[in-house]
Amino acid sequence: MDLIEIGKKAKAAAAYLGRLGPADKNRGLRASAQALLDGEAEILCANQEDVIRAMAAGMSRALIDRLELTPARVQAMADGLLQVAMLEDPTGEVLSMKERPNGLVIGRKRVPLGVIGVIYEARPNVTADAFGLCFKAGNAVILKGGSDALESNKAIVCWLKKGLADAGISEDAVCLISDTDRETARKLMRLNQYVDVLIPRGGAGLIRTVVENSTVPVIETGTGNCHIYVDEGADLEMALNIIDNAKTQRIGVCNACESLVVHRAEAQRFLPLLRKRMEEKQVEVRADAEACALVPWFVPATEEDWGSEYLDYILSLKLVGSLEEAIAHINSYNTGHSESIVTRDYEHAQRFLNEIDAAAVYVNASTRFTDGNEFGFGAEIGISTQKLHARGPMGLEALTTTKYIIYGNGQIRE
């Protein structure tokens, strides 16, 4: 289908969805979840086509693992939709309402964004997840998944639409773009007339492409060069456990720790302990010259290391002489995601929280908690690393906007 045609259908569906109440939307979500289960055999079969094609094309084992669906994963998609059905509807609330001196009553109401475009890679579960969250917040969604998952996505969207139809709800609430060429993606990024927001989900390359080419407003998600700073006088055992967790509990995620900053006063005691733990966990530590002199096992770091999001068993390490230096270093190289201080000092904790410029700033905890579920949002559409609109984990509220509603009785401006 032509992109303009998809845009028109989605815009009409958005107007329709904006009028649906929570009971209708939840019915739609439950019916879609059931449809995914009903369509399991067909979805798995389509997915096998994608997997066979990907294998033939030499896709890496890790990427094929993300692409491949199983009965358990189809069940997880369905469960995800049911879980979203249980979350509170974020729309309709009037956040404030006040009478002005001229008698106008001005209120601010939470409403859906309208049409949301989601551009993502070859992870077919995103298809159902993104639909569920956008739909619950009253938005129509236009999905543009990676070409490697096209058959899977077509099958999933086909069954989601069937579920909506079963519930008597417009199928245009979810639209899949089945042209997977770059030109179509670029057109979508400039479809301002029909698309209110674009959310890219995937690696740094995808996100950069969307930010650079889009005229539709974008919510930037993802890249995380997360730091942990071990302060002078910190509980070193706590620091080791937090670093270990933030680095190794899951490697390929944006809230994993990539960079370590250690106060010089703790170097002699702490670096040998760090070396031992990282060696056990097979993590390579790329350190500055001073740290390398203390622990020759460390690998010398280059300037590039300070800004790297490795997503791998690698950690950079820099020694500093003060809290100020630590904050300045982190604010220079971080990506606005998550940063943590390990400290016993009250004043240092407060200054770190105040002065670090990032979506989530921690004291004495692992950066791995930056996540919609861990924050209690129930689900998330991504983690915003920009400052406009939404910052940090984005739940349903990030998929809404507000409008002013004004009650008058003939007021004109003097």
Fill in the DSSP letter of residue 320: E
Shortest Cβ 149–its own copies spacing (Å): 27
Restricting to residues 316-335, name those near its own copies by CB under 8 A: 331
381 contacts 199 by C-beta, under 8 angstroms: yes
Q: With CB under 8 A, what is the number of residues at the site for its own copies?
A: 67
Residue 106 is a binding residue for its own copies (CB under 8 A):
yes
Query: In the structure encoding, which two tokens stand for residue 133, read together?
Result: 């969250």
Residue 277 is a binding residue for its own copies (CB under 8 A):
no
Restricting to residues 17-56, name those near its own copies by CB under 8 A: 18-19
Q: How many beta carbons lie within 10 A of that of residue 226, not counting itself?
A: 28
Q: Residue by residue, what is the 3-state secondary structure of 58-81?
A: CCCHHHHHHHCCCHHHHHHHHHHH
Residue 212 is a binding residue for its own copies (CB under 8 A):
yes
The amino acid at residue 331 is N
Which residue, among 166, 178, 196, has the nearest Cα to 10 in the 3D structure?
A: 196
Residue 278 is a binding residue for its own copies (CB under 8 A):
no
Q: What phi-psi label fits residue 114: left (phi over 0), alpha (psi between -120 and 50 degrees) or beta?
A: left
Among 52, 252, 321, 411, binds its own copies (CB under 8 A): 411
The interface region with its own copies, picked from 38-46, 57-65, 242-250, 258-266 by CB under 8 A, is: 242-250
Distance set, CA 193 to CA 49, 56, 120, 334, 400 (Å): 35, 40, 21, 35, 18
Binding mask 331-370 for its own copies (x = CB under 8 A): x-----------------x---xxx-xxxxxxxxxx-xxx
292 contacts 298 by C-beta, under 8 angstroms: yes
Among 187, 265, 391, 397, binds its own copies (CB under 8 A): 391
Among 392, 394, 395, 396, binds its own copies (CB under 8 A): 392
For the chain, give the number of residues: 414
Query: In the structure encoding, which two tokens stand for residue 189, read together?
Result: 């990024």
Among 297, 375, 378, 397, binds its own copies (CB under 8 A): 375
Residue linked to tokens 């990032």: 358
Nearer to its own copies, 164 or 197 (CB): 197
Which residues of this protein are in contact with its own copies, per CB under 8 A? 15, 18-19, 98, 100, 104, 106, 113-114, 192, 196-197, 211-212, 215, 217-220, 235, 238, 241-242, 244-246, 249, 331, 349, 353-355, 357-366, 368-370, 374-376, 386-389, 391-392, 401-413
